Amino acid sequence: MNDIEAIKERHSVRNYESKEIEAEKKEKIKALIEEVNKEGNLHLQLKENAGATYNRLLNRAMGLSSAPSVIACVGKDDETLEERVGYYGERLVLEIQKMGLNTCWAGTFSRKNIDADVADDEKLVISIAVGYGKDQGRPHKSKTAEQVIEAKGDKPEWFNKGVEMALLAPTAINQQKFKIRLNEDGTVDIVDKGGPFSKVDKGIVRRHFEIGAEK
Ligand SMILES: Cc1cc2nc3c(=O)[nH]c(=O)nc-3n(C[C@H](O)[C@H](O)[C@H](O)COP(=O)(O)O)c2cc1C
């Protein structure tokens, strides 16, 4: 499975089988985490046993409490942290999808029960539930390309492909509060229009755009 196929097949999954993730796959996830931590200057951590991470009332109502494992998204606290978490976390999400597992980004979780290792200069931003889904989720309702594009004149094919993949990205409460601006010099900006976790969304959307645009 390539990145584009993983993007198309990925949907948030909130109900998980009790089946544990195989040791071999957990090792692969840990190796990937080590790689993105180096690349993104992050401290993401796989918690093999999610324990009571998703015991909040809202989680129990939505189903995430069945997730067997979780990735705690931690990093050195600076103004770029949330976007980096989104950008590198989504790389993990897509690789995990290719391994036949399912995920759900989750801003609602117990910050205490996740039991993450967070140094004084670090911050725990968000969690990603990981496991074998009871189903594969379903496509989200999406804005149209016209609703998110800011561009004058003709749009090149690579740009349209990037936008198409960006619209398949997970965003908090499916808000899709971003614009994709094609500048006159051919550069692209992902513009964050605000909302909960919108900086994390921005990183996720940038990852998807780059995959679609092959840039
Ligand atoms: C930053 C972020 C935070 C999220 N927080 C939660 C959450 O707390 N609980 C939950 O059930 N889903 C959460 N989600 C999942 C979104 O609801 C989901 O991505 C969105 O509805 C789009 O659906 P899809 O992921 O299936 O494409 C979050 C997603 C993102 C990107």
Query: Would you state the pLDDT for residue 155?
Result: 95
Query: Would you state the pLDDT for residue 58?
Result: 86
Structure tokens at 107: 């801003």
Structure tokens at 30: 């840990």
Of the CA atoms within 13 Å of residue 133, those in its CB half-sphere come to: 19
Ligand 1 nearest-atom number relative to CA 14: 11
Q: Answer whether residue 59 shows pLDDT above 90.
A: no
Mean pLDDT, to the nearest integer, of 154-168? 97
Binned at pLDDT 50, 70 and 90, residue 136 comes out as very high
Q: What percent of the chain has pLDDT over 70?
A: 100
> What residue segments make up the domains of the chain, in order of their start?
3-131, 145-213
Burial of 80 (0-12, 13-18, 19+ CB in 10 A): middle
Q: Answer whether residue 215 shows pLDDT above 80.
A: no
CA angle 207, 212, 213 (to 5 degrees): 100
CATH T-level fold of 3-131: NADH Oxidase (3.40.109)
Sheet containing 122-131: give its strands across.
Answer: 45-47, 69-76, 122-131, 102-106
Show the ligand 1 pocket: residues with CB < 6 angstroms: 11-12, 14, 62, 64, 104-108, 126, 137, 140, 170-174, 197, 200-201, 204
Query: Would you state the pLDDT for residue 63?
Result: 83
188-207 pLDDT per residue, tens: 999 999 999 999 999 999 99
Lowest mean pLDDT among 46-55, 59-68, 172-181: 59-68
Q: What percent of the chain has pLDDT over 90?
A: 95
In sequence order, the β-bridge partners of residue 37 are none
Burial of 10 (0-12, 13-18, 19+ CB in 10 A): buried
**CATH class of the domain whose range is 145-213:** alpha beta
- DSSP H helices in 99-173: 145-148, 157-166
Q: Answer whether residue 62 shows pLDDT above 80.
A: yes
18-29 pLDDT per residue, tens: 999 999 999 999
Q: Do 3-131 and 145-213 come out as alike in CATH topology?
A: yes
Ligand 1 centroid–CA 215 distance in Å is 26
Q: Which of 102, 109, 174 to mutate to test the pocket of ligand 1 (most atoms within 8 A of CB)?
A: 174
